[in-house]
Amino acid sequence: MLDWFVGLDGWLQALIATLFTWFMTSAGASLVFFCKKVGKTAFCIMTAGAAGIMLASSFFSLLLPALERGGDNAYIVLTSGFVLGGFIIMLTDFIMTLAMGRESGRGRPSAVMCVAVTVHNIPEGLAVGVAFGALIGGGEAGLAAAAMLAIGIGIQNFPEGMCVAFPLRANGMSRAKSFFIGQLSGAVEIVAGVIGALAVTVINWLLPFALAFSSGAMIAVVCAELVPESFAVHKGKATAGIVLGFALMMILDIAFG
């Protein structure tokens, strides 16, 4: 099975990986059929663990390979890509905050949340696509590291699916429709992942910039969403989750990368 996956083109690997991240979004949204809410402790550990995995992935799976392929001007390429990736997430947060502040009426904040999650999923899908595209394009991200990046994003997509589906349900939407919209917010990652993989495979010189861009986007998502959400529940558990998630990713990357 592993040999079959390794033999696939980069865009097919990215397609399968982003199908997994979409599935995790769907799994989170599906809880709307079974319960009204998820325990705070489970949510905290899950979110913090994903943050740790994504932090390690941003460094080991994205920035280090970008540095190795950046050439003489690596500091310019990496810095510009990293800053641009982070800036896009910051800009999205700013726009969504303004929109949520101006919107009023039943269900409007839920709709804005759905748009915000969907927009955030675009750079996350690109990050997965770039990581797998780098394998075919000559990068050294490593299959295990790329897979762990997808797993980390998938884990953090689980609560994102909940964040879209549950407010919609609370505002009177049917369970089926709440689930459908919740899972749909993750589908954009599939398209973004395939595009990212194809881009770095066809345009090899774009790889260092794309890797740094994805790293910046990942760091911004962790800082803007996962860390505040997990620490708001319990500081100690959130810290432990981040440390364990980072350690897990680091061990796997060093051992199998």
Model pLDDT, residue 129: 87
**3 state DSSP class of 34:** coil
Closest CA to 17 of 155, 146, 196: 146
Q: For residue 181, which of 168, 191, 190, 199 has the smallest C-alpha distance?
A: 168
Q: What local confidence, expressed as pLDDT, does residue 46 receive?
A: 74
Q: What is the pLDDT of residue 107?
A: 47
Q: What's the pLDDT at 37?
A: 61
Q: For tokens 């990736």, what's the residue?
A: 85
Q: Which two tokens stand for residue 185?
A: 């917010």
The confidence score (pLDDT) of residue 157 equals: 81
pTM of the model: 0.65
Angle at CA of residue 127, ends 242 and 110, nearest 5°: 75
* pLDDT number for residue 108: 46
Q: What angle do CA 49, 65, 74 make, to 5 degrees?
A: 120
What pLDDT is attached to residue 22?
94
What is the reported pLDDT for 113?
55
pLDDT at position 17, please? 92
Q: Distance (Å, rounded) from C-alpha 209 to C-alpha 85?
A: 10
pLDDT (tens place) for every residue of the chain, 257 residues total = 667 777 788 888 899 999 999 999 999 889 888 876 656 787 788 778 878 877 887 887 778 878 887 778 888 989 999 999 888 878 877 776 676 565 544 444 455 556 656 766 777 788 788 888 877 654 444 677 788 778 878 877 887 787 678 767 766 788 888 899 889 888 989 998 999 888 877 776 777 887 788 788 878 878 887 788 889 888 999 999 899 988 887 876 676 55
Alpha-carbon distance of 100 to 102, in angstroms, equals: 5
